[in-house]
Amino acid sequence: MTSTLAIGNYNPTDRAALVDAFDAHVIAGPDEIAALDQGLREGITAVAYAGHHAFGGDQMDLLPQLKVVANYGVGYDAIDVSAANARGIKVTNTPNVLNDDVADLAIAMWLVQGREMRAAEERVRSGAWAKEGPAPLNRKLSGGTAGIMGMGRIGRDIADRLAAFKMDIHYHARSEKETPGWMYHADPVALAKAVDFMFVALVGGPETENYVSKEVIAALGTRGVVINISRGSVIDEEALLDALESGAIAGAGLDVFVGEPKVNPRFLTLENVALQPHQGSGTVQTRAAMAQLQRDNVAAQLAGTDLLTPVN
């Protein structure tokens, strides 16, 4: 009988790999656990998890022999780590393998938003360039001031890319980091006041909910731009929308949203935002590496060896 339960909407390749490697039983979401045969549930020691539905103590209690929840993704806010700790369950994620893709998309949204590339492309496609002349002038981006809200692995990779654009780099984190002379701000409002462009790279979860608050957004000022590649929950989305609609800030680039994939329709009418469908890690190579690291963590647990990337 299998000892591995895979939960999530896996693509055919990753689903087959989980079945081949572990004889995994695959279900679509955590709400299906209770309907499984009791004998199957009692034999599960490892869960391979992919998705954003809550996986908490109630679900864990249905799997009394569970030892590890291996998450597909660097963000593991859907998994109740406190509940896992209370039950002696380890949680793993897939860091590092996706840093480059996520940082690349952050820079891409910054460029698309600031250089008004969506409107400029439409000018070419519609024939307006030939009929009406060049696009309106837009904003110079290189040589400005950028802030990183959350100087973890991904935040550092974003900052390294911005350095190539000759940016003056500031950052906020729980503690000061070793950097090439970048300016540390202990207070998030102070960071926002100091920069033109703020890149949000925070870890999701209850501790960072609305961390980019109404006050932080207001502190950016009328030339300020927010780029978010972390979680929609880390920003006060209503305050952000109010600021975008009123011109209190200049714009935003967003790969994540509250309640995604449903997006607040107020975003869809705005011309000063670049919108993406939570695809920061969405390349063939990176998603394959994430799936492999998830399987490697499951394999380590089943073999009784050290987990590769534990978070608790």
Q: Please give the positions annotated as active site.
A: 231, 260, 278
Angle ∠(151,157,160) on CA atoms, nearest 5: 100
For helices 12-22 and 284-303, angle between their N-to-C axes, nearest 10 degrees = 20
| 69, 74, 79, 82 alpha-carbon torsion, rounded to 10° | 90
Q: Scan for tokens 């790969």, then name that residue.
A: 255
Give the integer Cα–Cα distance in Å for 74 and 95: 5
- Residue 12: asked if its preceding bond is cis (omega within 30°), the reply is no
Q: Please count the other Cβ atoms lying within 10 Å of the Cβ belonging to residue 298.
A: 26
Q: Kindly give, in sequence order, each residue whose CB lies less than 8 Å from that of residue 124, ignoring residues fewer than 6 positions away.
A: none
Give the integer Cα–Cα distance in Å for 87 and 89: 5
